[in-house]
Structures are given as structure tokens and as C-alpha cells.
Amino acid sequence: MAKQANWVKLQVGSSSRRISAEGFLQFLESALTVLGELDREQSHFGSPEFEWEIIEVGHGSPIHVTFQPTRLPSPRKSRAASNGRDIVDYFAKGMSHLNESNTAPRRFSAAVLRSAKQMASIATRYQLHPVISTPTQRRIEVKESAPGNIDWVIKSQELNKKHHVERGSLEGELRKLSGIAGGRRDRLSLFNRVLEEYVPCTFSSRLSELEDLAKQGWKRRVIVSGKIYVSSTSRHPVKIEVDAIQILPLRTELPRLADLPKLDITHGMEESEYVRRLRDAL
């Protein structure tokens, strides 16, 4: 085992049975998707902060691959003191939990659960008998009971869901701005004139560029983009996690009709002459 402080080892197969190459590759891809979704779930930016490098490969049966998280380059300040250890721990503990339980593990959002179900289903379909190991969690099997348990969790959440989540943009006026100078999660409200209601907004106080834009856009028309929570009953947005703000021009900054160039449809001729030529051409 490589002596890195942070890693996740995926082992498949057994000494008595060879495995399908197609199944092995599909399993690795789906496992990386689960890790990526867990990364995205914890990120302040709504996108993964790590990529996964292969640091060790074992051949024969069983076969194993060990991955290490490496931070992606970003001009934005990432979550404090994170080196990816939390991701691999949530991954291993979550899959261990789902072997025996039909309740959602910590940090397993709907997207993570869907990816985990695909990974566990591939393992069952190709009889891979995978084992997950991390620095703190050793030999966590992914059992054949996992896909059914995950499916139960997903369906239960869908029945109890009061809203669904989608990425998009909303237009309105910034109102009720609070906590911009500090606090772990600052809040503001967007007044939507079409719906005539306020939509609460949140964003990380670490995103200084959004703080500045929020201050500049106070009581201005803006477009905010990010993760929108939409009510399943009213179909109205109930909250948005903001990752971008665009300040729209003031009405006084918009072009006026008088500022537009004069439209010349007669090509410089008198109107009567232009009409006569059109009539004679018929």
C-alpha cells in the first residue's frame, strides 16, 4: 500500500474467479462519479474541488486500484483545511451503512445516492464483489443488498420531497441584504416582481467577489444564478444557493427611442416620390 495520508482503494474479484474487463471499467467509472458527487456536495462552489489520481495498481485476481484526491487549481478560496479525507471517509462509511440500512447516510444527497446505486448495481451485475478501503475504514464490502437499499432510500425521498432542485437563474431586485460582512453563510432576498414574492438567497461569505456584487447590486435589478429549490406544489422557487450575480443596467442607462438612428426606408427620396415609384413598378 502506498504511504500517502489520503487514499481510497477499490478491490474487485477474487482469487478463484476472473472478472469482466467491461464490468471492472464501468465499476471504476461509477465509483469515481460517487466520489465526485460527494466532493460537489461539500463544495462551496457547486463543482468538484478535487481530481483523482491513480497511485497504485495491483494485478491478478483480485485486482485493485488506489486513488488519491488532488486539489484542482482554482483562483477561488476552497473549503478550509480539506484535503479530500472527508470525501473518502463519507464514501466508505456511506456504502457500509447502505449494505445494512435503507436510510440515507450522511452527505449522501439524491445525486450521490443515484451514483451509488449505479455503482452497486454494476458490482452485482458483473459479480465483482468489491471491497473499499481508506486510511480509517478497512475492507468495506459492497454487498448485493446495497442496490435494493439505495433504491428504497431514493423512492422514499421522492415520496416525501417537498421541493426539487435545479440549476438556473432568477431575475429580480436585491432586498433584505444582511450579514455581508461576516457569518458562515450570508443571506439576502430577491424580490421577484412577476411572482410578487421574496426568494431567500444564500452564498458563502468566503466568496468575496459575490459580496462585492451583492453590495453593488443592493436595490438593483439583478440576475442570480445557482442551485434553485422549487416547491413541488406551487412550482415557485423557495430558495436559491447563489454562485453568480449579474447586475442589470438601470432604466436610465438603457437606450431611449430618441437615441436610435433614424430608419430610412426611402433611401433618401421624398416619401411621395418613393411611393410613386413603388406604384409604377406594379
> Residue 184 has what pLDDT?
44
> Residue 230 has what pLDDT?
87
Would 77 be classed as within a structural domain?
Answer: yes
Would 282 be classed as within a structural domain?
Answer: no
> Residue 75 has what pLDDT?
52
84 plus 151 within the same structural domain: yes
Would 280 be classed as within a structural domain?
Answer: no
> Residue 70 has what pLDDT?
92
219 plus 149 within the same structural domain: no
Total number of domains constituting the chain: 2
> Residue 38 has what pLDDT?
94
151 plus 223 within the same structural domain: no
Q: Last residue of some domain: 106, 130, 160?
A: 160
Would 1 be classed as within a structural domain?
Answer: no
DSSP 181: T
> Nearest 5°: phi and psi at 148?
-65, -40
Would 81 be classed as within a structural domain?
Answer: yes
> Residue 187 has what pLDDT?
65
* 29 touches 12 (CB < 8 A): no
> Residue 197 has what pLDDT?
79
Report the half-sphere exposure of 269 (CA within 13 A, side-chain side): 11
27 plus 69 within the same structural domain: yes
Q: For the chain, 282 residues long, give each residue's pLDDT as a single digit of tens.
A: 445 578 999 999 887 878 899 999 999 999 999 999 999 988 877 788 899 999 999 987 899 999 999 998 875 555 544 678 899 999 999 999 999 998 999 999 999 999 999 999 999 999 999 999 999 998 999 999 999 999 999 888 876 777 788 889 999 888 875 544 444 455 678 887 777 778 888 875 556 677 788 888 888 889 999 889 888 777 888 888 888 889 998 877 777 777 777 777 777 778 888 888 878 776
Angle in degrees, 0-180, between the axes of helices 110-125 and 146-160, rounded to the nearest 10: 150
Would 53 be classed as within a structural domain?
Answer: yes
Q: Last residue of some domain: 95, 130, 160?
A: 160
Hey, is 261 helix, strand or coil? coil
153 plus 170 within the same structural domain: no
105 plus 32 within the same structural domain: yes
70 plus 179 within the same structural domain: no
> Residue 92 has what pLDDT?
96
Domain with 230, as residue range(s), is 163-255
Strand partners, 192: 197
112 plus 176 within the same structural domain: no
Q: Last residue of some domain: 160, 182, 210?
A: 160
156 plus 167 within the same structural domain: no
20 plus 121 within the same structural domain: yes
232: domain CATH number is 2.40.50.140
> Residue 3 has what pLDDT?
53
154 plus 175 within the same structural domain: no
In 107-220, which ranges are E strands? Answer: 131-133, 140-141, 163-178, 185-192, 197-204
30 plus 96 within the same structural domain: yes
